[in-house]
């Protein structure tokens, strides 16, 4: 079974969701931020790969798997809830906040945060039950305005 199928399975089968599946879901959200403004530049890609390697140690093969499956799933998805529900249910608050900070770092990789990137991060933050204060602190840190 593919990792996205396990991740998005009904709540009765969420016990089949592995830690690796959750890490892949987080990486997928980071990739969504990178591609929200229409292009993924070198800096965004570098920060994405750095975050993935640092936090979750996914290898290149797993990243290719994520890219391939994510494209199909994002086209079919109607809401970010599908991506965030398993993370919200299984991750502690600190880990969810760290993901929001990483999303902001990718959004600000080009020196500014696009309004669409900000909307995406705000929505993910709300779905992960990350406080507005942590959302703002992540934004300020990423833009160097702390």
Give the mean pLDDT of 72-88: 73
What pLDDT, on a 0 to 100 scale, did the predictor assign at position 8?
46
Q: Could you give the percent of the chain with pLDDT greater than 70?
A: 76
1: confidence class by pLDDT, cuts 50, 70, 90: very low
- pLDDT tens digit sequence for 100-110: 999 999 888 87
Domains and CATH numbers, the chain: 3-9+19-142 (1.10.3680.10)
102/48 Cα distance (integer angstroms):
8
**Interacting residues of 62 by C-beta distance below 8 A, sequence separation 6+:** 20, 24
pLDDT tens digit string along 102-131? 999 988 887 888 899 999 999 999 999 999
Q: pLDDT at residue 6 above 80?
A: no
- Find, among 47, 133, 134, 31, the residue nearest to 80 by Cα: 31
């Amino acid at each position: 079974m593919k990792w996205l199928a396990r991740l998005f399975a009904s709540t009765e089968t969420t016990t089949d969701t592995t830690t690796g599946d959750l890490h892949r879901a987080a990486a997928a959200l980071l990739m969504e931020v990178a591609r929200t403004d229409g292009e993924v530049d070198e800096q965004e890609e570098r920060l994405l790969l750095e975050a993935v390697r640092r936090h979750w140690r996914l290898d290149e093969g797993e990243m290719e798997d994520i890219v391939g499956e994510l494209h199909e799933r994002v086209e079919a998805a109607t809401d970010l809830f599908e991506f965030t529900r398993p993370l919200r249910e299984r991750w502690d608050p600190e880990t969810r906040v760290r993901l929001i900070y990483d999303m902001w770092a990718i959004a600000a990789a080009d020196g500014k945060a696009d309004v669409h990137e900000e909307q995406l991060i705000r929505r993910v933050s709300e779905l992960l039950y990350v406080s507005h204060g942590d959302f703002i602190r992540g934004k300020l840190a990423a833009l160097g305005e702390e």
